[in-house]
A and B are shown apart, each in its own frame.
Chain A
Amino acid sequence: MPTASLSLAPVEEEATSLDEVVAPDLPWVTIVWNDPVNLMTYVTWVFETYFAYPRSKAEKLMMDVHVKGRAVVSNGPRESMERDAEALQGYGLWATFEEDE
């Protein structure tokens, strides 16, 4: 991608809020839990479709859910994990978000 000499992007914020200084934003995770209804094929399709994960990664995560009972499917700031959990629930998966331990 060519580098533009004129950028419309906002000036990067350097300042950090007091909250972040006191309690640094730990990464959060989105978890998908095993359930007896959702099909292996379907769960793989959801991971491919929503996250745009390649087939191999989608299948590995699906197998983790199936065999281990749960899998961390994404990580990042809390707002992103809430968005992922909501989207995955929209697909009918049993998705939760929590602070990474």
Chain B
Amino acid sequence: MARAFVREPDGFVALLDDGERLILSGLMQQTRVLLSPEIEPTGDAFDDLVASMGVSLNLADQGDPATSHGDVTGAAGAPGAAGAGHGTTDAGYRDPALDRLLPTAHRGDDEVAAEFRRLTEEGLRQRKSSNLDVAIERIGAADDDRVVLDAGQAPAFLIALTDVRLLLGERMGMRTEEDADALHAAMETIDDDDPLGYAMAWYDFLTWLQETLAHALMDDGDGEDLLTSDGTDDV
């Protein structure tokens, strides 16, 4: 049974059993596949910045074939497409989850939005992938069920959890507050073997885990109460 993240002398520590780590790592890896950049991050911030600039400024020259990837509930990009990043095809198909993970940055001017995307998408994919890599590595390095994060790894893990929840939420059709309410209400009557029930249970688990890590990061010991203490409240 899982124990939430708490601040300990050696870092931020959660207790997650084998099954919990397997699922969590699997969801992170699927998110990682969808977000994979054209050029994989090297771990060196400067090299990655240069690489992302080179690619994003020369997207028209990119012709690497994209591959089809399975994802959280089985939807997949069409195979054999020219690359505008994973989850997209040259036939104009763009995995809807990408619009949630890499949303349009200008509402009302498609040209500005497209230019922004061209300049930023590769870098965003690299940073998100790096965060997921850190999180997957920490889960894999768990010892005696202890997932331990240092001060630099904790924010990466926290952001990685966000991207996994965004992807899972999108796959479940959770796009508005009303959707979220309806999904939670549907859990009351859903069949035991409905995959949506499992997805929702893991979504709630991720929510709980993220909430505890955010609280641990923000608790700077000044006694100031956080405004939000309800673990299920969303914005």
List the interface of chain A (C-beta within 8 A of B).
34-45, 48-49, 55, 59, 62-63, 65-66, 82, 85-86, 89-92, 94-98
Contacts and interface: CB of A to CB of B under 8 A. Distances in A.
Contact of A39 (B104, B128, B233): B233
Interface of B: 101-108, 116, 120, 123-124, 127-128, 155, 158-159, 162-163, 165-166, 169, 174-177, 179-180, 207, 210-211, 214-215, 217-218, 224, 226-228, 233-235
A90 B158 contact: no
Contacts of B211: 39, 41-42
24 contacts: A35-B234, A36-B174, A36-B175, A36-B179, A39-B210, A39-B233, A41-B215, A44-B218, A44-B227, A45-B217, A45-B218, A48-B218, A49-B155, A59-B227, A63-B227, A66-B235, A86-B105, A86-B123, A89-B103, A89-B105, A90-B124, A91-B162, A95-B105, A97-B106
Nearest to A36: B180
Given A45-B217, A86-B105, A92 B227 contact: no
Contact of B228 (A35, A44, A96, A98): A44
Q: Top 8 closest A-B pairs, CB basis? A: A92-B162, A36-B180, A40-B228, A41-B214, A37-B169, A86-B120, A66-B235, A85-B105
Contacts of B116: 82, 85-86, 97
Given A44-B227, A82-B116, A90-B128, A39 B105 contact: no
A32 B120 CA distance: 18
A77 to B, nearest CB: 15
Contacts of A41: 211, 214-215, 218, 226, 228
A63 to B, nearest CB: 8
Given A42-B162, A92-B159, A97-B106, 4 more contacts: A39-B214, A39-B234, A42-B214, A92-B166
